[in-house]
Structure 1
Amino acid sequence: MKLNRFYILFSVLYLLYLIFWWNALPNPLFEVSYSTLLLDRKEEIMGVKVAQDEQFRFPGTNVLPDKYKEALFAFEDKRFWQHKGVDWFALARAMYRNIKAGRVVSGGSTISMQVIRLARKNPPRTYREKFWEIFLTLRLEQSYSKEQILQLYAAHAPFGKNIVGLQAAALKYFDRDPGQLSWAEAAFLAVLPNAPALNNVRLLKEKRNRLLKELYRLGKIEEEDYRLALEEPMPENVYYPENIAPHLLARADITRKGEVCHSYIDSYLQKAVSEIVRRHNRMLGGNHIYNAAVLVAHIPSGEVRAYIGNTPAWGNSRGNEVDIIPAVRSSGSILKPALYALMQHNGYILPKTLIPDVPSRFGGYAPSNFNRTFQGVVPADKALSMSLNIPFVRLLKEYNYNRFYRELKGLGIHSLNRPADDYGLSLILGGGETSLWDLCNMYGGMVSVLRHYNEADGQYYEGEYDRLKLWKEKKVSSQSGDLFVQTPCTPDRAPLSAASIWLTLKALREVERPELESGWKNFASRLDLAWKTGTSFGYRDAWAIGVNADWVIGVWVGNSDGEGRPGLVGVRAAAPILFEVAGLLPVEGHLYKPAEEMQEVVVCRKSGYRASMICEEKDTLEVCGAGTRTTICPYHRFVSLDATEKWQVNSDCEPVYKIQVKPWFVLTPVQEWYYTRTHSDYRKLPPYRPDCEPDRGDVMEMIYPQKGMRVFVPRDFGGRRSAVVFELAHRNSSAEVYWHIDDRYVGDTRYIHQIEVDIPEGKHVLTVVDDEGNTLRQVFQVVGE
């Protein structure tokens, strides 16, 4: 019975011992924070952020340089590979020396024991603490390999000031990776943890040289290397590495805090783009424009090669710490190419389809073109290259803004977080929000689709508009060696066809802007650059995006706080940066037309629509397959003329057998009024012969005010009400027009049909009658404040 009790007691005690043994060692061994380290694509350091405890401490490396290990063994623990954590001979010798000296003069600690001491944050040196340290060291050797213990020591040893660990020390003292250390540098770092607070450079040098001598005696260093090492100077200052990507480092410190972040950034390109931004920022600062951002990505791989989140602060910060690249800003007209491509893809328009460009009102929304001029009608591709607003609002109205809103998200624009009705038709002119990151994903994704179509025999892939990546992850094999595997998809699941993208990029290569210097167009052509600018309402955001077969470049310029400035427009503020950055990039690839997806269509040369039977001049164009379903030309109609073809007639005034029926290109009166200003070759309809009763339904049209419009009457500085100017378009420029408001005659006009009227607030009826009796009546409302 007593024996059973003994066994039970022994078993319980042994079990408790085992539990204690396996739980005595902390897990994890080191509960510390680490610095965030940002590396470029060549593994060079671009920036460092201190850990939460203000220490420069990096996560340990799996490989320690041989020079450092040999120096460490020679200085700290010669029998490291032989003992089991405790060097009993060295420990006994140290105790003897300490007793003899009456104070602690030697520690006898092994590297393993020092790891335990570092993990326990250097408790007071007492005999009790030493015994506990020995026990934990023996336990450490049971759980970790010798190589792992070395790595733990190298990662957590103090190296003076706020520098912890070999990697941080090699960077801060010598500005290099540990693997590049010389023998003298390795010896210096081996002795430094022994006295990290030692400020006497002479004593540190003596310690280093004694260690070098020992390494030479042990045969670790050749004689010539030994003598050269003795001559190497000691580090005089702590090195502070240049932070060339501060906003990317801040982003890494949020998403990957305490990690070594391996990026795809090209340091050379990053510095060059930063200098371009810095130089333009100085010039823009004269107009109180203080911020800019640039993103450059390699399209075939999706790798971000330059990340300029904002301009550097000059003196007082003006929002320079804000990372603009992921920030949501008003899009301006930078989304127009997406609508153009979608309407091509879905068979709404052809590249040369005429779009009305006249003063327009859509309910309570009255957009205008940036330059306040109108074309009357304009081909769709030219409306895109000139970035005209009214044609694109009309296109969006036809396409449906709810549909466009949904499909933008499929094109990588993830920042639209309000219901589509909140944006309405203004979505195409900056009513929606977007970011530089999303825009580069969208534009770069378009090029990627086209590249893959040509490289993979017409194959489409998912995820094309979400390919940009900052951080190196585990790769998989691919033909080019630098692509992630993508999932193939059928063409009907692709947001845009290769053909629609090709036609869109083709239009963007022909950018025509009055503000643009002609030399830029030649420069863009040499780089095979398709590009687009945008400006938000109130001159708050200036955008410029450019793509070719290899690169996507995104530029934003403005003020972080949203302050608008005159002259802050895409083509003036952002485009110069775009072109200068593009000049740094090698152009190797080329985009090819997706011929298999394109079909030939006969179009009316004047209208750009599919040609009808009566179109006089025709062209053959290659368009998207869906383009074969677009509308037949609505602008050509038959006109009845007399034998001289100078007068319009009808059967009431001319025998039918004498009537000449001719096809004619006809615009509405307002379209015609603007169109003829820039198109002298436009043939107006001949007037009706005096003895013929004209068709009165298509003779004149109001330019201002439009039907149902609310007319605002401002007041001058003296508080007096200003007059309202009414304007009319008439097919017969020499016609005389009589103006009436509320049955009150207010005047007549000829040639130029504009009249200035002083009119009170309220609802009114405008009636105009020409000298042939044609009448137009329109209701409008005048408001004051």
Structure 2
Amino acid sequence: MQAKIPFLKKKWIKGIGIITLLLLVWFIFCLPAQLFHVPYSTVVADRNNELLGARIASDGQWRFPLRNTTPDKVKTCLIEFEDHHFYQHWGVNPLAIARAAFQNIKQGHIVSGGSTLTMQTIRLARNNPRTFKEKFIEMVWATRLEFRYSKEEIMSLYVSHAPFGGNVVGLDAAAWRYFGHPAEELSWAEAAMLAVLPNAPAMIHLSKGRDLLLKKRNRLLSKLHDNGKISDSDYDLAVSEPLPQEPKPLPQIAPHLTDYFSQTRQDQYSVSTIERNIQTQVEGLVERWNQEFARSDIRNLAILVIDIERNEPIAYCGNLHFNKEQSGNQVDIIRSPRSTGSILKPFLYYVLLQEGELLPHTLVPDIPININGFAPQNFSQQFEGAVPASEAIARSLNIPTVTMLQHYSVPKFYNFLKEIGLTTLNRPASHYGLSLILGGAEGTLWDITTAYADMARSLKGLDHTYCTLTHSDPPPFTLPDLFQPGGVWQTFEAIKEVNRPEEIDWRTIPSMQTIAWKTGTSYGFRDAWAVGVTPRYAVGVWVGNATGEGKPGLVGARTAGPVMFDVFNLLPSSPWFSRPKDIFIDAEVCRLSGHLKGRFCEETDTVLILPAGLKTDVCPYHHPVTLSADGTFRLYESCINTEISIQKNWFTLPPVWEWYYKQHHPEYRTLPPFKPGCGEDSFRPMQFIYPTMNAHIHLPKQMDGSKGQMTFQLVHSNPDATVYWHLDDNYLTETKDFHKVSLTPSAGKHSITVVDGEGNAVSVSFFIE
């Protein structure tokens, strides 16, 4: 019997040990890894942590994401009001529990819970009915919480989830909803009011129980004063401060950006790259311009401003009047695909220069063209025969640009646009064709403005990184260099010469900063664009109607352009880019054609070009010509008499180019005709304007159902020439002065041939579909 007692004692001790171990394991693992399972508001701040806007949490509560620290005033008020020994206990204060029990027994009902701030944090996380069992669990979890988190972290958990009346949860939401400023700027009176609110948020509120709320606040202020926590002057000011009248609306700065973050960074607190001061100025500018555009029923406007050095947006105006659910105001235009108009032309000019396909001032044709039914027109509806490539880009001439794209190839340019970040090209290159350069594709203001910013970054020797709206998601990282400084420099030199909307010579005004800029207008006047670049900023502007409705006055240079310059006027200016060193080489070019100097070019200039430009063609437009002594005829060798003839190098363009070119260049001299009887003309004096070789033509039907006509057009270098027309070897008619003939050919392949009085002939084949 005596032997069994030690055995039972050991067994009893072992059992206690196992139970203790189980309790210890339970204690260690009783607290969930994630304490709170609640949705949070999406909150967006500027780069200096100033609030721009927020979106309510999915459960309808204004609950800002967890904060990391608690302002000293709020911390002092909470400890004084809720938990004097917060920094001394381990989650449970036995003295407070005993005192609460005594008060509850004395009063006959629960008047005090004796909960510490740690226990209240657990109660907020569990959100269960208050029972003795729940109280015990709160005490155990609170003790465990003290081992996991520091006191500062526990305080942050509490203030981030405490109820402050209505649908306001957490200190940050309460500070903004009740006082209109961040918690760090709370006064003593404001901090005291928020400290007493969670104690009974359903009983005291701004709209009810105001007297009780005021008494509790002032009682707390009095305790703080008596305990030496606040000075006499602070106390006097605090108790005299009135309670707020009603909840205030949260800031609505950059609302479309806040909306974007609510979709991409939901429930998070995002510190954006936006500069609030610049953002508000830009929004004010948007409001002023909207009043102007509204007269023409142009209802929407978007602006994006990017800091070149940091490659970060500092202003993001996706549209205007976000709260008015009409006219497409809630559409974020910055992210919306829109027809690009001419805004992509500088990128084409860049690749042509960089790859040595042309020189900056090479003449390109500006004549009527029809490429498989695609017949682009210049905005002016005029033709100039030939223009320098740089001028074609600066003036945004459509026909020369289409010709340049045809030379470069649509697939190559399409691939380049995708490489520089145009994310909206989701169809094959063949779908867009040559219209790609005139607005046949869609782009976003974000993609296009960031691409222009990347060009500027290359001139500053900066790495190519993704442009982001935050510093953390996703982090910028280096990408392959997409732009080379040489081609970018020449491109910017061309587009900084564009005439400005104010119709003044900006070069003569010292205060006017140099800006490389481009506008665009989509087909049907639906989208107006302007993008400009300085060494410090890139500014993108879109004007139009989000519904896609076109308006006659909706032209980039008249609407988006002036807005863009107003934005630049808000921004600090900077000296223009320095020319890249050790990139360019000297080259002698023909002054008239812009090509490399040919053997017959007499007027030349020495200019800086990229090394790749050396592979471009030499000038094809200067020819040696033998003239009669009086310069009225050209002569063949069989007719040359050295005593009565002269030799001269003559600048001669192709007939169609010449026809339009000389109308704008009175200095241009057409070659004189050959002397009669002096041999055949070795030059082609005629050229078809329309149709082009092997063109496929569709004849539209007339109102009566019959087929329409097509008009053949020809130019002749001799204005006095008579031209004889033949269709499929059948004589048709003759023309003088203006060589045009209208016909209705049958379906199928045809050939049109013309012969002049000197026997010169030209022919072109075409197809009627």
TM, length-normalised to structure 1: 0.91
Q: Which residue does 1:490 correspond to in 2?
A: none
Distance 2:108 2:367 in 1: 100
Q: 1:727 is paired with a residue of what secondary structure?
A: strand
Say yes or no: does 1:499 pair with 2:508: no
Q: Which residue does 2:185 correspond to in 1?
A: 180
Distance 1:435 1:225 in 2: 54
Q: Which residue does 2:168 correspond to in 1?
A: 163
Q: 2:236 is paired with a residue of what secondary structure?
A: helix
Q: Which residue does 1:144 correspond to in 2?
A: 149
Q: Which residue does 2:380 correspond to in 1?
A: 371
Letter aligned with residue 22 of structure 2? L
Say yes or no: does 1:766 pair with 2:734: no
Q: Which residue does 2:570 correspond to in 1?
A: 584
The Cα shift of 1:652 comes to: 3.9
Alpha-carbon contact 2:513-2:574 (below 8 Å) kept: no
Deviations 1:221-278 (A, max 9, x none): 2122212211110111111122111111011112222222111212222122223223
The Cα shift of 1:213 comes to: 1.0
Q: Which residue does 2:99 correspond to in 1?
A: 93
Segment of structure 1 superposing worse, 774-783 or 389-398:
774-783
Say yes or no: does 1:566 pair with 2:565: no
Segment of structure 1 superposing worse, 97-106 or 156-165:
97-106
Segment of structure 1 superposing worse, 567-576 or 725-734:
567-576
The Cα shift of 1:340 comes to: 1.0
Q: Which residue does 1:458 correspond to in 2?
A: none
Alpha-carbon contact 2:367-2:399 (below 8 Å) kept: yes
Distance 1:363 1:724, change over 3 A: closer
Letter aligned with residue 40 of structure 2? Y
Alpha-carbon contact 2:81-2:195 (below 8 Å) kept: yes
Distance 2:739 2:133 in 1: 105
Q: 1:496 is paired with a residue of what secondary structure?
A: coil
Taking every aligned residue pair, what percent have the same amino acid on both sides? 44
The Cα shift of 1:324 comes to: 1.8
Q: Which residue does 2:408 correspond to in 1?
A: 399
Q: 1:305 is paired with a residue of what secondary structure?
A: strand
The Cα shift of 1:579 comes to: 1.5
Say yes or no: does 1:196 pair with 2:183: no
Say yes or no: does 1:693 pair with 2:679: yes
The Cα shift of 1:214 comes to: 0.9
Aligned counterparts, 1:649-660, within 5 A: 649-654=635-640, 660=646
Segment of structure 1 superposing worse, 183-192 or 416-425:
416-425
Segment of structure 1 superposing worse, 83-92 or 158-167:
83-92
Alpha-carbon contact 1:650-1:659 (below 8 Å) kept: no
The Cα shift of 1:187 comes to: 0.9
The Cα shift of 1:411 comes to: 2.7
Aligned counterparts, 1:582-661, within 5 A: 582-654=568-640, 660-661=646-647
Alpha-carbon contact 1:742-1:764 (below 8 Å) kept: yes
Q: 1:526 is paired with a residue of what secondary structure?
A: coil
Deviations 1:43-93 (A, max 9, x none): 211101111111111223322222212211111111222222222222122
Alpha-carbon contact 2:457-2:463 (below 8 Å) kept: no
The Cα shift of 1:635 comes to: 0.8
Segment of structure 1 superposing worse, 292-301 or 693-702:
693-702
Alpha-carbon contact 2:371-2:692 (below 8 Å) kept: no
Deviations 1:329-376 (A, max 9, x none): 222221111111111112111111111111223345333323222111
Letter aligned with residue 50 of structure 1? I
Distance 1:344 1:235 in 2: 65
Letter aligned with residue 471 of structure 1? T
The Cα shift of 1:95 comes to: 1.5
Deviations 1:299-349 (A, max 9, x none): 112121110112225855232222121222222221111111111112111
Q: Which residue does 1:456 correspond to in 2?
A: none
Say yes or no: does 1:240 pair with 2:249: yes
Segment of structure 1 superposing worse, 494-503 or 579-588:
494-503
The Cα shift of 1:651 comes to: 3.0
Distance 1:190 1:316, change over 3 A: closer
Unaligned runs of 5+ residues in structure 1 are: 453-460, 477-483, 488-492
Segment of structure 1 superposing worse, 42-51 or 355-364:
355-364
Letter aligned with residue 605 of structure 1? R
Aligned counterparts, 1:249-264, within 5 A: 249-264=258-273
Say yes or no: does 1:751 pair with 2:737: yes
Distance 2:604 2:378 in 1: 30
Alpha-carbon contact 2:370-2:692 (below 8 Å) kept: yes
- Which of 23, 26, 29 is matched with 2:29 structurally? 23
- Which of 50, 54, 74 is matched with 1:48 structurally? 54
Segment of structure 1 superposing worse, 257-266 or 374-383:
257-266
The Cα shift of 1:576 comes to: 1.9
Q: 2:333 is paired with a residue of what secondary structure?
A: coil
Unaligned runs of 5+ residues in structure 2 are: 1-6
Deviations 1:462-497 (A, max 9, x none): 42xx44231134999xxxxxxx8868xxxxx74333
Aligned counterparts, 1:699-778, within 5 A: 699-715=685-701, 717=703, 723-757=709-743, 763-778=749-764
Alpha-carbon contact 1:541-1:556 (below 8 Å) kept: yes
The Cα shift of 1:761 comes to: 5.6
Q: Which residue does 1:479 correspond to in 2?
A: none
The Cα shift of 1:16 comes to: 2.5
Alpha-carbon contact 2:69-2:153 (below 8 Å) kept: no
Letter aligned with residue 507 of structure 1? A
Distance 2:71 2:324 in 1: 43
Segment of structure 1 superposing worse, 570-579 or 204-213:
570-579
Give the total of aligned pairs: 758
The Cα shift of 1:139 comes to: 2.0
Distance 1:697 1:485, change over 3 A: closer
Letter aligned with residue 500 of structure 1? G
RMSD of equivalent CA atoms? 2.6
Distance 1:42 1:313, change over 3 A: closer
Say yes or no: does 1:451 pair with 2:460: yes
Alpha-carbon contact 1:509-1:525 (below 8 Å) kept: no
Alpha-carbon contact 1:601-1:610 (below 8 Å) kept: yes
Distance 1:684 1:400, change over 3 A: same
Alpha-carbon contact 1:511-1:521 (below 8 Å) kept: no
Distance 1:354 1:717 in 2: 42
Q: Which residue does 2:3 correspond to in 1?
A: none
Distance 1:65 1:402, change over 3 A: same
Distance 1:134 1:714 in 2: 87
Alpha-carbon contact 1:443-1:552 (below 8 Å) kept: yes
Distance 2:594 2:88 in 1: 87
Q: Which residue does 1:545 correspond to in 2?
A: 531
Segment of structure 1 superposing worse, 696-705 or 226-235:
696-705
Alpha-carbon contact 2:454-2:483 (below 8 Å) kept: no
Q: 2:607 is paired with a residue of what secondary structure?
A: strand
Distance 1:749 1:471 in 2: 69
Distance 1:495 1:299 in 2: 16
The Cα shift of 1:517 comes to: 4.9
Q: Which residue does 1:305 correspond to in 2?
A: 314
Say yes or no: does 1:347 pair with 2:332: no
Letter aligned with residue 404 of structure 2? L
Deviations 1:539-583 (A, max 9, x none): 332211001111100011233343333333221231121111111
Alpha-carbon contact 1:524-1:579 (below 8 Å) kept: no
Distance 1:520 1:323 in 2: 35
TM, length-normalised to structure 2: 0.93
Letter aligned with residue 522 of structure 2? S
- Which of 180, 183, 207 is matched with 2:216 structurally? 207
Q: Which residue does 2:4 correspond to in 1?
A: none
The Cα shift of 1:653 comes to: 3.8
Distance 2:744 2:23 in 1: 103
Say yes or no: does 1:231 pair with 2:231: no
Alpha-carbon contact 2:681-2:760 (below 8 Å) kept: no
Deviations 1:718-768 (A, max 9, x none): 556655433210010011223344455544322222344466665544332
The Cα shift of 1:129 comes to: 2.1
The Cα shift of 1:402 comes to: 2.3
The Cα shift of 1:632 comes to: 0.8
Alpha-carbon contact 2:122-2:141 (below 8 Å) kept: yes
Distance 2:396 2:511 in 1: 19
Letter aligned with residue 138 of structure 2? E
